[in-house]
Chains A and B, each alone.
Chain A
C-alpha cells in the first residue's frame, strides 16, 4: 500500500513539470507582451526593452523555462512580474478563500445529495423520487454564474441576509457555497440514487431482509456502504469541477481567491503567477484523485486486495 502511494506521488513530479512546460509554452506563444502589459500603452519602447531584459524575456522560451524549472526544483515559484513579490506569498494570501469556498460547496453538496439520492432510490417512482431527480437535473443544467447572480440579488441585496461581496466571515461563503455546490450536489445525488438502486436488488440485501432485519437497518448497514463506492468517485471528480467553478463563483461574488488571481494574471501576462496558480490547482487535484483511489480501497476490501 505505502509503495503504491509513494509511486503515485513520485509520478506526480514529472507530470507537474510537464504541466508547467505546457502552460509556459501556451503563455509564451500567445499574443501579448508581458512587459507591455505591465507598463501600459503609454510606455516608451526603451522602457519596454529594458523591462524585457530585466525579466529575461528575450531569451529563447526553452531557456526561460529551464530557469523557471530550476527554481521550481528548489521550491521557488518565482517572482510576480507585476507586484515584484514572490509568487508563493501572493498565492498563499488567497488560498484560504478558495479553500473555504470549495470546502463549503462540497459540504453543502454532500450533505444534501446523499440523503436525497438514497431516499429517492428507496422510494423509486414516487413523487419524492421524481421531484428530487428534477431538482438534480436543474442543478446539472443551471449555469453557476446565473444561480450565483440570482442568489446574490435575492438573499444579499433584497433580503440582506448575507454580504454581497468580500470574504470576512463564514456568512460570506454561504451563498457562493450554494451556487458552486448545487451542480455537484446534482451529480452526486444522481449517482447515489442509481448505485443505490443497483445495490438494493442484490441477493445479500434480500438475505438480510429475509433473516428479519429491519428495513432501515438493512439500508444503512448493508446497502449504503456498497452504494457509496461510485459516489466517492463522483465526489472526487467534482473537486476538479469545483476548482474550475471557483473561478466563476469568485467572479460573481467578488471573492479574493485564486480563481480571480489566475484570470487577472493571465490577462496581465504575469506568467509566473499563472503557473503558480495552475500548479496549486493541479497538485490539489492530483492529491484528491489519489485520496479517492485510496478511499476506494478502504471502502471496498476487494480493491484493497489488489494492492497488497
Chain B
C-alpha cells in the first residue's frame, strides 16, 4: 500500500504538469484554443454569403465604431467578422497541410530510419533535393505554378514541409532503434509495423510535437505571405494576408484596414510560438 502512494506519475501527466506551470505557454495555449473555437464556430454566428463576402458599398471605409467594431473595408464589408472567419481559413489550411506533411514525412522518415541501408539512402537523397530549396521559396513556387486556390495551397505547403518531418522523425527513430526494449520486442516476434507504431514512434514523439507546433506557425505565416502576394487564397475569401494587402491602398487615413489583419496574424504566430517553446521545455527531460 505504501509503495502505491509513491508510485511514479505517468510521463504524460508529468509533461502536462510542467507545461501548466509555464505561464507564457499557458497564455499561448489559451489563445490557440480561442482561435480554434473562433474557427469552428464562426459559421454559426456569421452567414458567409450575407456578412463575409457580400459587398455593401454605401457603408465602405467606416472607421471602427460601436456599430462596426473593427470598421468596414473598401467594399463595405465588416472587418471584425472577416477577421474571425480568417482564423477558420488560416487554421484549416495550416492544420491540413501539417497533417499531410506529418503523415507522408513521418512515414518516409520512420521507414528510412528503421530499415536503414539502401531504403534509407534512397529516401534521404530524395529528401536532400527538397531540402536544397529554401522551404518557403519552394512553397511559393509550387503555389504560384499550380494557381491560387485553397487545395493547391495546401498541397504546396504540405510538400515543402515533408522533408522537415521526414528528417526529424528519422533521427528520432534512429536513436531509439537499437535500444534494448526494441530488441526485446523483436525477440518475442513482434512484426516490424507493430514495433514502429507501438514502440518507436511514441518514443520519438517529443521532438515531433514541438516541430509540429512551430511548423503550423511558420505555415500560417507563409499562407499570409502568399496571399499578400496574390498567390495564396484568392479574394473574396477572408484571409488575413489578402486583407492586409487589400488595405495597403487605404493605409493613409484608414490604417485599421491593415492593422487588424496584421495583429491577427501576429497574435496567432505569437501564441503558437509560446506554446511550442513551452512544449519544448516541458518535454525536455534535461531541465527536470
Seen from chain A, the residues whose Cβ lies within 8 Å of a Cβ on chain B are 15-16, 18-19, 22-23, 26-27, 30-32, 137-138, 140-146, 149, 153, 157, 240-241, 243-245, 247-248, 251, 262-263, 266-267, 274, 278, 281-282, 285-286
Of chain B, the residue at the smallest CB distance from A147 is B262
Closest chain A CB from B158 CB (angstroms) = 14
- Taking a contact as CB atoms closer than 8 A, the residue among A16, A143, A266 that contacts B141 in the complex is A266
- Counting CB contacts under 8 A, is B270 at the interface? yes
Given A16-B132, A266-B145, 8 additional A-B pairs, CB 8 A: A18-B129, A31-B147, A143-B262, A146-B258, A146-B262, A241-B134, A244-B136, A278-B137
Closest chain B CB from A137 CB (angstroms) = 6
Tell me if A30 and B136 are in contact (CB < 8 A): no
Tell me if A30 and B228 are in contact (CB < 8 A): no
Of chain A, the residue at the smallest CB distance from B273 is A140
> In the bound complex, how far is the Cα of B24 from the Cα of A14, in angstroms?
46
Tell me if A248 and B266 are in contact (CB < 8 A): no
In B251-280, which residues have CB < 8 Å from any A CB? Answer: 251-252, 255, 258, 262, 265-267, 269-270, 273-274
Closest chain B CB from A130 CB (angstroms) = 11
Given the contacts A19-B129, A141-B273, A143-B266, A248 and B248 also touching, CB distance less than 8 Å:
no
- Counting CB contacts under 8 A, is B142 at the interface? yes
Contacts of B270 in A (CB 8 A): 137-138, 140-141
Tell me if B128 and A15 are in contact (CB < 8 A): yes
> Interface size for chain B: under 10, 10 to 19, 20 to 34, or 35 or more residues?
35 or more
Tell me if A140 and B269 are in contact (CB < 8 A): yes
Of chain A, the residue at the smallest CB distance from B286 is A198
Q: 3 tightest A-B contacts by CB? A: A244-B136, A240-B134, A18-B129
Closest chain B CB from A65 CB (angstroms) = 14
Tell me if A143 and B265 are in contact (CB < 8 A): yes
Tell me if A285 and B133 are in contact (CB < 8 A): yes
- Counting CB contacts under 8 A, is B241 at the interface? yes
> In the bound complex, how far is the Cα of B136 from the Cα of A146, in angstroms?
17
Seen from chain B, the residues whose Cβ lies within 8 Å of a Cβ on chain A are 126, 128-130, 132-137, 140-142, 144-147, 221, 224-225, 228-229, 231, 241, 244-245, 248, 251-252, 255, 258, 262, 265-267, 269-270, 273-274
Contacts of A245 in B (CB 8 A): 136
Contacts of B244 in A (CB 8 A): 143, 145-146, 149
Given the contacts A30-B147, A247-B140, A248-B228, A141 and B129 also touching, CB distance less than 8 Å:
no
Contacts of A240 in B (CB 8 A): 134-135, 137
Given the contacts A18-B129, A149-B251, A143 and B225 also touching, CB distance less than 8 Å:
yes
Closest chain B CB from A185 CB (angstroms) = 15
Tell me if B266 and A278 are in contact (CB < 8 A): no
Closest chain A CB from B115 CB (angstroms) = 22
- Taking a contact as CB atoms closer than 8 A, the residue among B129, B221, B229 that contacts A251 in the complex is B229
Tell me if B141 and A262 are in contact (CB < 8 A): yes
Given the contacts A144-B225, A146-B244, A248-B225, A267 and B133 also touching, CB distance less than 8 Å:
no
Contacts of B262 in A (CB 8 A): 142-143, 146
- Taking a contact as CB atoms closer than 8 A, the residue among A26, A137, A143 that contacts B241 in the complex is A143
Contacts of A146 in B (CB 8 A): 244, 258, 262, 265-266
Tell me if A26 and B135 are in contact (CB < 8 A): no
Contacts of A282 in B (CB 8 A): 132-134
Contacts of B130 in A (CB 8 A): 22
> In the bound complex, how far is the Cα of B147 from the Cα of A266, in angstroms?
10
> In the bound complex, how far is the Cα of B132 from the Cα of A146, in angstroms?
28
Closest chain B CB from A106 CB (angstroms) = 14
Closest chain A CB from B244 CB (angstroms) = 6
Tell me if B132 and A286 are in contact (CB < 8 A): yes
Of chain A, the residue at the smallest CB distance from B248 is A149
> In the bound complex, how far is the Cα of B131 from the Cα of A240, in angstroms?
10
Contacts of A140 in B (CB 8 A): 269-270, 273
The 12 sampled A-B contact pairs (Cβ below 8 Å) are A32-B147, A141-B265, A141-B266, A141-B269, A143-B228, A145-B245, A153-B255, A244-B135, A244-B137, A278-B141, A281-B134, A285-B133
Of chain B, the residue at the smallest CB distance from A11 is B128
Contacts of B136 in A (CB 8 A): 241, 244-245
Contacts of A27 in B (CB 8 A): 145
Tell me if B141 and A149 are in contact (CB < 8 A): no
Closest chain A CB from B270 CB (angstroms) = 4
Query: Which has the most chain A C-beta neighbours within 10 Å: B133, B140, B224, B255?
Result: B133
Contacts of B265 in A (CB 8 A): 141, 143, 146
Closest chain B CB from A18 CB (angstroms) = 4
Of chain B, the residue at the smallest CB distance from A18 is B129
> In the bound complex, how far is the Cα of B244 from the Cα of A146, in angstroms?
8
Contacts of B137 in A (CB 8 A): 240, 243-244, 247, 262, 278, 281
Contacts of A31 in B (CB 8 A): 146-147
